[in-house]
Homo-oligomer: A and B are copies of this chain.
Amino acid sequence: PPGKKVLIVYAHQEPKSFNGSLKNVAVEELSKQGCSVTVSDLYAMQFEPRATRNDIVGRLHNSEEFNYVVEAGEAYKRGALAKDIIEEQKKVQEADLLIFQFPLYWFSMPAIMKGWIDRVLVRGFAFEIPKVYDAGLFKDKLALLSFTTGGSKEVYTKGSISGDIRYILWPMQHGIMHFCGVKVLAPHICYAPEFVSEKERKEMLVAWAQRLKTLWKEEPINCSAEWYFE
């Protein structure tokens, strides 16, 4: 609806890819609804995935023994994080909805996107023990994982060798999003777009646009172990 802010964190090297098309569909449909849409195009930004001392401007809290999580948390408090992190945090802070668009790499997100998680979701900003899970700092935000797979839907079912796709979702949806308090919408999964017909790929894009039309009316999933493993 008008006024809603959406951040799309997008990780694909190729604008002409199917992931690129899914991202474009989301930008178009959400803009049409009057949402304000921001895209973090990680490869285009050459986003830095490595969590290092360079992320902290100026002196360290403890220069004798570098502890990234502690140092990043301290730097957040005094506004001394690297500029690229601060910019991403601003986008997250403003967003009502986070969409992660990526191809599944090794049962998870590509390293460049994992690096965005590692570096942007700093202690104090995204979580603060014990303010986690349902008491999390981002409890007014929604998130949705939208991704493509190499394998077919059949490959990712309970009892098949690669197991239920939900097993894969646990670390990302629960361990990252829910941990920060974010409400998780059902994932949007396009299975094996490389191996289907052009017609089916088009139908997948239409289905995504359709879903987005009523996205704001969706109820979040019940992001507990039962949803994933029972």
Residues on A facing B (Cβ under 8 Å):
13-14, 16-17, 43, 46-47, 49-53, 64-69, 105-112, 114-115, 117-119, 121, 133, 150, 158-159, 161-163, 167-168, 170-172, 174-176, 179, 194, 225, 228-229
User: How long is the Cα–Cα vector from A141 to B190 in the complex, in angstroms?
Assistant: 33
Write out the residue numbers on chain B whose beta carbons fall within 8 Å of the beta carbon of A50: 43, 46-47, 49, 111-112
Give the CA-CA distance A47 to B174 in the complex, in Å.
28
Our pick among B14, B114, B171, B194 for the contact of A111 (Cβ within 8 Å) is B114
- With both chains docked as a complex, state the minimum distance between the C-beta of A4 and any C-beta of chain B, in angstroms: 26
Cβ-defined contact, B163 with A17, below 8 A: no
With A and B bound together, what is the CA distance between A90 and B175 in angstroms?
A: 34
CB-CB under 8 A for A111 and B111, given A13-B53, A163-B170, A168-B170: yes
Report yes or no: A118 in contact with B105, Cβ–Cβ below 8 A: yes
Is A66's CB under 8 angstroms from B14's CB?
A: yes
Residues from chain B with a CB closer than 8 A to the CB of A66 are 13-14, 17
Q: What is the distance, in angstroms, from A190's C-beta to the closest C-beta of chain B?
A: 15
Of the candidates B65, B109, B170, the one whose C-beta lies within 8 Å of that of A167 is B170
| A163 to chain B: closest residue by CB | B225
Q: A17-B66, A167-B225 are in contact. List 10 more A-B contacts (CB 8 A).
A: A13-B53, A50-B112, A51-B110, A106-B118, A107-B171, A107-B172, A107-B176, A133-B161, A162-B175, A167-B167
Inter-chain CA distance A163–B121, complex, in Å, is 21
Could you show 19 A-B contacts with beta carbons less than 8 Å apart? A13-B51, A13-B52, A49-B49, A51-B112, A106-B175, A106-B176, A107-B170, A108-B108, A108-B175, A111-B118, A111-B119, A158-B225, A159-B225, A163-B170, A167-B167, A167-B228, A168-B171, A168-B175, A170-B170
Closest 9 A-B residue pairs measured CB to CB? A107-B175, A111-B115, A107-B171, A49-B111, A111-B114, A14-B66, A49-B49, A16-B65, A114-B114
Q: Are A112 and B170 touching (Cβ within 8 A)?
A: no
